[in-house]
Amino acid sequence: MNFNNSIFTLLLIFLILIFLSSTISKIMHKERYDVTIRNYGIKHPLLVKFVYLFIVLSEGFITFSLALSGVNFYCLLTISLLLSIFSIFIVINLFKGNQNFSCGCGGVLENERLSYWMVLRNAVIILIAFILFKSKYSMNYLTVQTLLSFIIVSVFLIYVQVLKELKKINEIMHFIFKYIY
């Protein structure tokens, strides 16, 4: 494997883990995700169910497509459409002043407040998918380098999740000390 393949492997594994963690999170916390969908302004119960199924199935398709064949045209199209729709809903809510609810991203990308950084993050994910699509890269076989890349990306994503939890603990401690002193 050359240097470009190493970078492509890291990027592909990054995308796989992002969409896998997001899909699993939405399945495991369906009720919480239904509330998030309602927070975005979708209120009708049947529409909430449809949106939930559409998103989970789309993210599941993306995860399996990435793992089996890399970023093909349909995978790139699904990633681009899904993240663009998410970004539009985020921007609409930010314009309305609605930012104090979970983004609904799920997994390691989950955040408790909406922000314009999420739109930028979604654009970067689309860009990564486009780069992988243009390179026609896929992991056809398991190598030590692929396994090492998987471990590196996994540790990075776990680190990000731990930092988010520490931030929540810090906010709770500030809240408690604010009322004690």
Asked if residue 82 lies in contact with residue 90, where contact means CB atoms within 8 angstroms, the answer is no
Mean pLDDT, rounded, for 32-45: 87
Rg (CA), the chain: 18
Give the pLDDT score at 168: 65
- The answer to whether the beta carbons of residues 122 and 114 sit under 8 Å apart is no
Please report which confidence band the pLDDT of residue 95 belongs to, taking 50, 70 and 90 as the band edges. Answer: very high
Amino acid at 51: V
Q: Measuring CA to CA, which residue among 94, 156, 98, 153 is closest to residue 119?
A: 94
- Mean pLDDT in residue range 104-111: 76
Q: What is the pLDDT of residue 33?
A: 86
> C-alpha distances in angstroms, 134 versus 27, 130, 131, 137?
31, 6, 5, 8
> Number of folded domains in the chain?
1
The mean pLDDT of the chain is 82
Note the pLDDT of residue 111.
77
Winning range, highest mean pLDDT, from 3-12, 77-86, 144-153: 77-86
pLDDT over 60 at 14, yes or no: yes
pLDDT of residue 87: 93
pLDDT range class, residue 127, cuts 50, 70, 90: very high
Q: What is the largest CA-CA distance in the chain?
A: 60
The residue range of the domain holding 165 is: 3-180
For residue 127, the SS3 value is helix
Structural tokens at position 178: 């604010």
CA atoms of 47 and 166, how far apart (whole Å): 36
